[in-house]
Amino acid sequence: MTEDPAFLATTFVVIDFETTTPTGYPAQPIEIAALALRYEEGTWATVGRYASLIRPPAFAPVTSADTAQTGLTPEQVKQAPNPADALGALDRRFTANTRYLLVAQHAATEANVIHNQREHCPALACVDFLDTIPLAKHLVPGLPNYKLDTLLAHFSVPLPANRHRATADVDVTAEVFFRLINAAAETSQISDLAALVKIAGRTAKCNIPVQSGLFDI
């Protein structure tokens, strides 16, 4: 797989959000981190990195439960960029004529946040995902579960001190992704990028065709 031209031509962007979960509304981002990677000459090269706090809307304040989970406080996000500025700055890093795939642990979470914020990040919203969970299930069967901490323990990746902050979670998700790709390459279980996408891919909601009603007039 790591010799497949399509794989080598792809920029993999590991992404993670921290969010608030206001009642009656979708999750609202309060922090984002992204790590862009290319596989070059047998190793992974970092080709970009981005991180920002995000000021949530008034209906989605940082709660004590959020602080307990992430360590982020209302004061920290109060002066942060709004979603349009924080996500727009990341969106502008995605260039035309470059093949991208986003990588995330439980990609449905990140996919939903991005889709709900798509007006601020239209380029990002059109990038499909690889989910490390189905990839790990395929390559490392038999684990008690496929939570990130379980995968970190399996691959002997130390827990970061600031686990549940976006940058730390992106870094350790990348480490898991590296090990999964190595396992796939060593065992020849996945032959190319197309096979990888078939196992672990998730189509961005913006790329899913909308089916017209059968009796539209």
**Residue type, position 91, single letter:** D
In this predicted structure, what is the pLDDT of residue 210? 75
**pLDDT band of 212, cuts 50, 70, 90:** low
pLDDT digits (tens, 9 = 90+) for 146-181: 999 999 999 999 999 899 999 999 999 999 999 999
In this predicted structure, what is the pLDDT of residue 214? 54
> What value does the CA radius of gyration of the chain take, rounded to a whole number of Å?
18
What mean pLDDT do residues 198-205 have? 96
**pLDDT band of 186, cuts 50, 70, 90:** confident
What mean pLDDT do residues 135-150 have? 97
What mean pLDDT do residues 46-66 have? 97
* Residue with the two structure tokens 């992974």: 44
pLDDT digits (tens, 9 = 90+) for 6-48: 999 999 999 999 999 999 999 999 999 999 999 999 999 999 9
Q: Which residue(s) pair with 32 in the sheet? A: 17, 52
Q: Where are the domains of the chain?
A: 5-207
The CATH homologous superfamily of the domain defined by 5-207: Ribonuclease H-like superfamily/Ribonuclease H (3.30.420.10)
Return all residues near 19 (Cβ < 8 A) that are at least 6 apart: 27, 28, 29, 30, 113
What mean pLDDT do residues 109-132 have? 97
In this predicted structure, what is the pLDDT of residue 209? 86
Read out DSSP for 137-194?
HHHSTT-S---HHHHHHHTTPPPPTTTTSHHHHHHHHHHHHHHHHHHHHHHT---SHH
Q: What is the mean pLDDT of the chain?
A: 95
Return all residues near 96 (Cβ < 8 A) that are at least 6 apart: none
pTM of the predicted model as reported, rounded to 2 decimal places: 0.94
